[in-house]
Amino acid sequence: MYAEREKERQEKQQAIDNRISTISESDIEAEVNKIWASNGLSTKRKRISKLDRENARKHISKRIRQEEENNVHLRYLERHRDFL
């Protein structure tokens, strides 16, 4: 049981690391524009500051972690569908 959980945790972390490593500049710029739109800031801004890029990377990483956590739960439910 413990080994199975550890294996799941490692697979999840590997998937997260793979997805985070493939984040591109265009993904970051799109996320910055989404953040600006949600905060009501002007979308006429052309310059993206370093802080905006860092915040966008954090948002993307957080969303990836949540998606992978949900995927773990979905895989668990799929495996144990007959038992539930």
Q: Which two tokens stand for residue 13?
A: 């972390």
DSSP state of 15: H
Global pTM reads 0.83
> Is residue 84, in this structure, part of any structural domain at all?
no
Mean pLDDT, consecutive 10-residue segments, the chain of 84 residues? 88 95 95 90 80 96 96 89 74
Q: What is the pLDDT of residue 43?
A: 66
Q: What is the pLDDT of residue 84?
A: 61
Query: Which is it for the CA torsion 68, 69, 74, 75, positive or negative?
Result: positive
> Is residue 53, in this structure, part of any structural domain at all?
yes
* Amino acid at the residue 2: Y
The tally of domains found in the chain comes to 1
What residues make up the domain containing 63? 2-79
